Structure 1
Amino acid sequence: MLAWLPFALLAGVSSIRNRELDPYFRDLTLHARFLLAVPLVHVGSSISVRLARQSVHRLADEGFGDRTAFEPLASTVGAWMEERGKSAILLVVSVLLGQALLWGAIQAPLELRQAAAQGEGMRRIWVEGIGFPIFYFVGLRAILSWAGWCGVLAQLRRVSLRLFPAHPDYCGGLEFLVLPCRAFCLVILGFSCILVGDWGAEIAFDAADVSEFGGLLGAWAVTAVLLTLGPLVLVSPRLLEARLRGLREFGALATSYTRLFEERWIRRVPDRPLLGTPDLQSLADLGNSFRVVREMRVILVRKRDVLLVLLASVGPALPLLLTKFPLAELLERLFLTVAR
């Protein structure tokens, strides 16, 4: 709201004074960036960084390895968001980009250039000199913070991790590493609003057709999935190692216990009644544990995680699609796509 509200007030006053809607206020790209993208990206990045730090602490607290090995990783997460030096660098870069936009050194979006040609003064100074630097700062900080989390996942390959193949999450106990990715979907949603705002402006003012953006939307959806969930593949080799180790160790345990069970209860006359003995329950529990190990996943991503990212990346485009296709037709196409 810090970037959008002053701009909206200035444009509103100009609209009242001139008795026509201010050109800046008609610019959908500005509303998409300042009103939607900036809050979504900021909140999503903050939550994902907090969850990422909690995930690193859980690795240390829950016995996944030597605590000293995780301390440097915890300091890496969120460095671009909390360290004053790095934040100052981002602020300087963002201000310079805003000044370059204000003085024409870099090209602004078409709608913004048209608005700037019709409306000068404080509105343009705020939009290009203050609003866009805020947008650049929040966006760059979110991207670099996420890159830091991806670096942490990459470094886990070199840390001596102790995974638990029989853990009931079927991920060796590491399923909580997905939580930052789910929070990052808010960042994806914010960037999606920017794309849809730009496309909506082209449709409204340049008579573009919705179908022209189908390929771009598909490419963005794939990029969003890879950017959000792709880094989790970095820990898959450790999960595969844990699964193979679990199959070997639990297989040996199951063989030993089954042999002893048969020797006591099948190959000779039992010396006590079978009814009520804990041996049967222990055998069943061992079978359940081995089943968990056998079904352990080597990829942390679930189908619902992919659907969540797709919803964040494609969902904002639904209003644009409704301008060309009726809702019933869209639902029918979606059903046929899923059914295949």
Structure 2
Amino acid sequence: MENGVRHAAPNSSGASDLPEVDLSLVRGDLGFHLQRRVFLIPAAGMGIVRRAVIFAAVTWLPLALWAILTGRAFNGTGDDTLVAHFGIHVRCLIAIPLMVVAEGVAQNLMPPLLKYFVDSGLITDETLPDFRRQLARMSLLRDRALPWVLMLGATLAWSTTRALLGDAEDVVWMNHGTHIADISFGGWWFVLVIRPLFVVMLLAWLWRACLLFILLFRIGKLPLALVPSHPDRVGGLSFVERMAFIFSPVAFAISAVIAASFAHEVVYHGASAMQMKTLLIATAALISVIFLLPLLPLAMPLGRLKRRAIFEYGSLVAHHDRLVHERWILHRDIGNPEILDAPELGPVADIHAIYDAVAHMRSVPLSKMSIVAIVVPAAVPMLYVAALQLPLTAVLGKVAKALI
């Protein structure tokens, strides 16, 4: 099903007849429907590989053929060739296909992860109607045309303005002069096809990141059945961290395009990669922050849970240990209090372990896995720029030293 939620048969445990929930970040929006209308997306499935190949071919091949026919593919001085402009190749052959691949990743990850809110017991029978209502609201927001109209308008305005100004590095080399009438076929192809497609896909993914942020914010406001002593240290929400992998291809795509621009400056304009290191690090950090932000709304219920649980479990442990102290140290007759015989609490060491689990809860649903899922794709292209002027072993050594 494309929108909202769907009903399914009772689960195998037979505990209750709970409907299965399903929401996609990509199926159902205006971009999806436009692509299906022109048969890019088949009736069944997402056509990820086919679309990635088609987009790469449509954007890169016409420009490459024009460059070959006009002698601008390899012949020229300095960066006056197609080969020298890394950003064009990266946009067409890496970034745009990867953002299509990310749609497939999102489609495979989101529905089962949302369903796990129910399967894990975080969403109970009482909160399930509200949970489904939030998913339905999110599907309506995802399907609105206005965000896509704004994205398309902003993209066309930006692309044409840059063409009129005539100062874009990736366009100037293709033209015969600085006037708009001097823009060649290659220049127009970049201005009207390559750049707009890349920018629209980029804005679409930023919008989807916003959608996930809003969805998790609304879910976080529900009375989730979080478990303070859960061994995952986030009340049972560790599965949410896997949503970071949705944005891994997008983070790499954006970082690769920016790194290609930096690499062009280093190779053809004498820029120093070492002098740019602050910019490289800041760029990778900014990309990482943008795509980790969607997971942060769940920090609010986790923070509330930890603050409350510290007092509740602290009182429980104090009461338990006080009775143990009175019985075995002060040798008082305290009777047979149930708390000392409760099998779920166990001996002193066990109840202390429960309290330690609560005390060491993380207030943010981010782990090494989720951070690596975003930081590594964002950092690898920047490392390539640094490696242009530094031995790769030295770069890797510095990275390893920083991490260890």
Give a deviation string over 1:103-161, Cα, whole Å, max 9, x none: x3465631322123389665444332222222122111100010111122333453323
Which of residues 177, 185, 209 is equivalent to 1:146?
A: 209
- 1:69 aligned onto 2:107: no
- 1:322 aligned onto 2:387: yes
The answer for the alignment partner of 1:9 in structure 2 is 61
CA displacement at 1:257 relative to structure 2: 5.4
- Matched to 1:47, the amino acid is V
- 1:296 aligned onto 2:350: no
Checking the alignment, whether the CA contact within 8 Å between 1:37 and 1:194 is kept in structure 2 is yes
Which of residues 116, 127, 143 is equivalent to 2:175?
A: 116
- Matched to 1:109, the amino acid is A
Aligned partners of 1:11, 1:151: CA distance in 2, in Å? 40
The answer for the alignment partner of 1:202 in structure 2 is 265
Give a deviation string over 1:145-202, Cα, whole Å, max 9, x none: 1011112233345332331112121100111222222331221111001101111222
Aligned partners of 2:344, 2:136: CA distance in 1, in Å? 49
- Matched to 2:200, the amino acid is F
Number of residue equivalences: 330
Aligned partners of 1:282, 1:143: CA distance in 2, in Å? 49
- 1:58 aligned onto 2:116: yes
Which of residues 153, 174, 177 is equivalent to 1:93?
A: 153
The residue correspondences of 1:1-340 to structure 2 (distance < 5 A) are 1-18=53-70, 21=73, 23-48=81-106, 51-52=109-110, 54-65=112-123, 66-75=127-136, 77=138, 83=143, 85-86=145-146, 89=149, 92-93=152-153, 96-97=156-157, 100=160, 104-105=163-164, 109-117=168-176, 122-254=185-317, 282-283=346-347, 285-338=350-403
Report the CA distance shift for 1:137/1:280 in structure 2 as closer, same or farther (over 3 A): closer
Report the CA distance shift for 1:225/1:78 in structure 2 as closer, same or farther (over 3 A): farther
Checking the alignment, whether the CA contact within 8 Å between 1:52 and 1:149 is kept in structure 2 is no
Checking the alignment, whether the CA contact within 8 Å between 2:306 and 2:359 is kept in structure 1 is yes
Aligned partners of 1:136, 1:94: CA distance in 2, in Å? 9
1:195 is paired with a residue whose SS is: helix
- Matched to 2:132, the amino acid is E
The answer for the alignment partner of 2:23 in structure 1 is none
The answer for the alignment partner of 2:43 in structure 1 is none
Checking the alignment, whether the CA contact within 8 Å between 1:40 and 1:187 is kept in structure 2 is yes
Give a deviation string over 1:48-97, Cα, whole Å, max 9, x none: 466445444433453334122222432455767x6273575267437734
Overall identity of the aligned pairs, in %: 20
Checking the alignment, whether the CA contact within 8 Å between 2:63 and 2:189 is kept in structure 1 is no
Normalization by structure 1: what TM-score? 0.79
Aligned partners of 1:191, 1:230: CA distance in 2, in Å? 16
Which one is further off, 9-18 or 145-154?
Answer: 9-18
Report the CA distance shift for 1:67/1:13 in structure 2 as closer, same or farther (over 3 A): same
Checking the alignment, whether the CA contact within 8 Å between 1:4 and 1:131 is kept in structure 2 is no
- Matched to 1:176, the amino acid is F
Aligned partners of 1:24, 1:331: CA distance in 2, in Å? 31
Higher helix fraction (1 or 2): 1
Unaligned runs of 5+ in 1: 270-276
Which one is further off, 4-13 or 322-331?
Answer: 4-13
Q: CA RMSD in A?
A: 3.7
Aligned partners of 2:59, 2:364: CA distance in 1, in Å? 45
Give a deviation string over 1:200-241, Cα, whole Å, max 9, x none: 222233232223422221221221232122443433232132
- Matched to 1:328, the amino acid is T
- Matched to 1:316, the amino acid is P
CA displacement at 1:325 relative to structure 2: 1.1
2:346 is paired with a residue whose SS is: helix
Report the CA distance shift for 1:18/1:83 in structure 2 as closer, same or farther (over 3 A): same
The answer for the alignment partner of 1:272 in structure 2 is none
Unaligned runs of 5+ in 2: 1-52, 75-80, 334-340
